[in-house]
Amino acid sequence: MLSSDNAYIDNIVNQTRSSEKKFKEGNFKGAIEDKRKVRVILSSEFCNKNIIKKFKEELASIYESKFDLINDHKLKINQLEINKIVKLLEKKSDEKYRKGDFKGAIRALRRSEKYLA
């Protein structure tokens, strides 16, 4: 693994944790801003499979729950359906963000990430 990968992974993990902390504190605008920064990194040309793998591991640790309806739903649908749901939720998040509904935006984005974890 390259040292630049480590820097991207550290940044993604830190931003993801920061977003989660802000969400729990009720700072929805700060939470969505941190998540959007992570999305920029993940969609950049520097992002590779290792970085995405570490991101998904971080999500799994954050969203781990004994009773998780999304996880149960993921077991019953194929990857194509999962991808459609994720894209729909990301679009919904972007629309809510543009309207200034930061709470709705972060909730939709967090829900989409649960399908990735």
Per-residue pLDDT tens over the stretch 26-50:
999 999 999 998 888 888 887 888 8
Cβ neighbours of residue 22 under 8 Å, at least 6 residues apart? 28, 30, 31, 34
pLDDT of amino acid 66:
60
Q: Which residue carries 């939709």 as its tokens? A: 108
> How much is the pLDDT for 31?
94
pLDDT in tens, 79-90: 898 889 989 999
Share of the chain above pLDDT 70, in %: 87
Residue type, 7: A
Q: Model's pTM, two decimal places?
A: 0.71
Amino acid at 97: Y
Angle in degrees, 0-180, between the axes of helices 28-42 and 102-116, rounded to the nearest 10: 40
Instruction: Give the count of domains, the chain.
Output: 1
Q: By residue range, what is the domain housing residue 27? A: 3-116
Q: Is the pLDDT of residue 1 over 60?
A: no
Q: Coil, helix or strand for 47?
A: coil
8 A C-beta contact, residue 105 and residue 96: yes
Q: Answer whether residue 105 shows pLDDT above 80.
A: yes
Nearest one of 39, 34, 38, 32 to 104, comparing CA atoms: 32
pLDDT score of 67: 61
